[in-house]
Amino acid sequence: MSPTISHKDNSRQRRPGTFNHSLDMKSGPLPPGSWDDDHPELVGGEGDKEALLGDIGASDLSKPPRSCRAELSSILLLLFLYVLQGIPLGLAGSIPLILQSKNVSYTDQAFFSFVFWPFSLKLLWAPLVDAVYFRNFGRRKSWLVPTQYILGFFMIYLSTQVDHLLGSTDGRSPDVVALTVTFFLFEFLAATQDIAVDGWALTMLSRENVGYASTCNSVGQTAGYFLGNVLFLALESADFCNKYLRLQPRPRGIVTLSDFLFFWGTVFLITTTLVALLKKENKEVLVGKEETQGITDTYKLLFSIIKMPAVLTFCLLILTAKIGFSAADAVTGLKLVEEGVPKEHLALLAVPMVPLQIILPLIISRYTAGPQPLNIFYKAMPYRLLLGLEYALLVWWTPKVEHQGGFPMYYYVIVLLSYALHQVTLYSMYVSIMAFNAKVSDPLIGGTYMTLLNTVSNLGGNWPSTVALWLVDPLTLRLVRNISTVMAIAGVMLLLRSVRLTSKFTSSSDIPVEFIRRNVKLRGRLRRITENGLEIEHIPITLPVISSWRKEPCGVLLVKLAGVELTEMGKVWLQKELKPSQVLWFQLLGKENSALFCYLLVNKVR
């Protein structure tokens, strides 16, 4: 899944410096030359070549901004397309619970988890979707329409085979290999549709309203996933239907998986026909902003993005950030079903979460605006890790509260509260990442650019989950304890090694020599500009709970701009360009007496 809202910063650009839409992604030094605007060749420097967002043309600036009401039909269409996209995701997400109720092994569950990998591998064919199309039909419709037609026919055909694959007709064990291959193709088509819709969203809406695309993504996929997962599991359960929806008990639910697939396959065919006939693409945008010369050029553009140091760093962060959540996210629900919790009851617990899942992106997006949308991601991570421990305790506690007639109400209340808190942390990270991705995506290769960043985000969640499921069966309690001990020791050593990064520096003598030798970047808040340089208060890395106990010392660092002799005019320029209490990054280059010589890194927003 992938959502969020991005906001365009309308503040004017910093003249000296590199393009920097977010200090999380990219920053560069102030040029060691003139402070005067009469030397445009000194503005920007090498970093400008790596700007993550394309230039706004003069024609864009001359157009009056459009309100969201003027583009309401396009926003509703995007919302509907993302709802359709959520249906296959929800159906695929319901299969592991069905398999778990049939007592398949966790190794089989791990194998089936490859079904969700197409959304992490779609980067391989995203350039093809960007570059090959029928001009008269529309760049995005050339892929969206046939893909959704194939999805519709595939769902109708699958409705005739799925009961046999699950072993429901002849009492056999589920054919996990065949199910995996089938649903892998299913998700492959959904991923291709996602590429087309993501790319179309960047041009269907004006620049002023493009942030609503990520909101449509979040709300639409959540609604679609709810329909394909929660609603299906509830209506498929004979126990639920007999207890809440029927007067006379029956051995089957109101709908079966085959019925559900047939219905939505028909919906896909009808709605795709309407989109093909009624919705036209913006051809002016197609020619002016999105034209590429072919598949080769698109792949070259893709690799030029991947080779950027900022993108490589970002990808490494996202690929490893979710390792700590993998076991809790992938195994908890299956373990609860294994311990006797009915799968339809677990699915129904998601119903109260739907309003929360729709509202959360709207609320969180207010805090992801500005130059540093990833701040929310960093702050939510430790709390999500703590909730993973709470999930482990919940699984341990579950068999102890089971009664003859099932589980008591207070048990479900605790599970619901745990899930709600988990959703807050999950969506905080999810919205933050998606806001960042939408903020830096270039419309020139909109589908490929946004797909690259979203693909890395998906892959960062999928591979740890697959590994976690695969390890459930072979891991014994003794082995887990040994691994936990080793990891705890490694964590303590890493914490001790990094403790200096959490210390507040109040003078140049506090800063270790290796920090200067390695040109470490530090963050600080501007306090004053003097004839000697900038007085900056260092902002250390904060550790949840621990940092709140520790009293921080007071003091400022004297920072001089490396290679620059600060004149009175330069001082006036700095006072004009830098805001009081502005957060800055400074890269250590050297120190002399009480002064630090640094490159100053500032946001250069568009």
Angle between helices 446-472 and 409-440 (to 10 degrees): 150
Given a contact cutoff of 8 angstroms between Cβ atoms, the answer to whether 204 and 220 are in contact is no
What pLDDT, on a 0 to 100 scale, did the predictor assign at position 267? 94
pLDDT band at residue 5 using 50, 70 and 90 as cut-offs: very low
Contacts 24+ apart (CB under 8 A), 15-18: 15/43, 15/577, 16/42, 16/43, 17/43, 17/44, 17/45, 17/47, 17/601, 17/602, 17/604, 18/44, 18/45, 18/46, 18/47, 18/48, 18/50, 18/51, 18/604
H or E element in which residue 572 lies: helix 568-577
Residues 6+ away with beta carbon under 8 Å from 85: 190, 193, 194, 197, 220, 221, 224
For residues 410-414, average pLDDT? 92
Query: Looking at the predicted structure, is the pLDDT value of residue 264 above 90?
Result: yes
189 has pLDDT over 90: yes
Residue-wise pLDDT for 169-188, tens only, equals 777 888 899 999 999 998 99
- Position 266 scores a pLDDT of 95
Q: What is the pLDDT of residues 320-365, one digit of tens each?
A: 888 888 888 888 988 898 888 888 888 888 778 878 877 887 788 7
| Greatest mean pLDDT range, 143-152, 249-258, 596-605 | 143-152
287 has a pLDDT exceeding 80: no
**pLDDT above 50 for 372:** yes
Rounded to the nearest 10°, the torsion over CA 397, 402, 407, 410 is -40
Q: Is the pLDDT of residue 563 over 90?
A: no
Question: Quick one: pLDDT at residue 149?
Answer: 95
Confidence at residue 29, expressed as pLDDT on a 0 to 100 scale: 35
Question: Which of the given ranges, 39-43, 71-75, 84-88, 309-313, has the highest pLDDT on average?
Answer: 84-88
* pLDDT number for residue 442: 64
Statement: residue 8 has pLDDT above 50: no
Q: What is the pLDDT of residue 484?
A: 66
- 24 pLDDT above the threshold of 60: no
Is the pLDDT reported for residue 38 higher than 90? no
**280-289: which pairs have CB atoms within 8 A and are 24 or more residues apart?**
280/138, 281/138, 281/139, 281/140, 281/141, 281/200, 281/203, 281/204, 282/203, 282/204, 285/203, 285/443, 286/135, 286/138, 286/139, 286/203, 288/57, 288/59, 289/54, 289/203, 289/443, 289/444
User: Any idea what DSSP says for residue 508?
Assistant: G
pLDDT tier for residue 452 given thresholds of 50, 70 and 90: confident
pLDDT at 35 over 50: no
Compute the distance between CA of residue 446 and CA of residue 452 in angstroms, rounded to an integer. Answer: 10
Residue 32 has pLDDT above 50, yes or no: no
Other C-beta atoms within 10 Å of 112: how many?
Answer: 23
In which element (H, E) is residue 559 found?
A: strand 557-561
Query: pLDDT above 90 covers what percent of the chain?
Result: 14
CA angle, 580 then 581 then 582, to 5°: 90
Q: Look up tokens 């995007």; give the residue.
A: 78
Q: Is pLDDT at 415 greater than 90 in this prediction?
A: yes
Mean pLDDT of the chain: 77
Would you call 125 exposed, middle or buried from its count of C-beta atoms within 10 A (0-12, 13-18, 19+)?
middle
pLDDT digit string, tens, across residues 480-514: 667 667 776 776 666 555 555 567 888 888 888 88
Summarize the confidence of residues 76-92 as an average pLDDT: 91
Spatial CA neighbour of 52 closest among 442, 450, 445, 454: 442
* DSSP string for 267-311: HHHHHHHHHHHH----HHHHHHTS----HHHHHHHHHHHHTSHHH
Domain spans of the chain?
Answer: 68-319+334-365+435-471
Distance, in Å, from the CA atom of 313 to the CA atom of 237, rounded to the nearest integer, reads 46
Say whether pLDDT at 454 is over 80.
Answer: no
| Three-class DSSP category at 78 | helix
Quick one: tokens of 457? 């985000």
pLDDT value for 259: 92
Please say whether the beta carbons of 5 and 598 come within 8 A: no
- Section 199-206 average pLDDT: 81
Question: In this predicted model, which residue has the larger pLDDT, 509 or 281?
Answer: 509
Q: For residue 501, what are the contacts with CB-CB under 8 A and spacing of at least 6?
A: 540, 541
Confidence tier at 71 by pLDDT (50, 70, 90)? confident
Paired tokens of 458:
């998906």
Q: Which residue has the higher pLDDT, 562 or 58?
A: 562
- Tell me the C-alpha distance between 258 and 91, whole Å: 11
Query: What is the rounded average pLDDT of the residues 198-204?
Result: 82
Contacts of 1 (CB under 8 A, 6+ apart): 86, 89, 218, 221, 222, 225, 430
Mean per-residue pLDDT for 381-394? Answer: 89
Which residues are within 8 A (CB) of 127 and not within 5 positions of it... i.e. 6 or more apart? 295, 298, 299, 301, 302, 445, 448
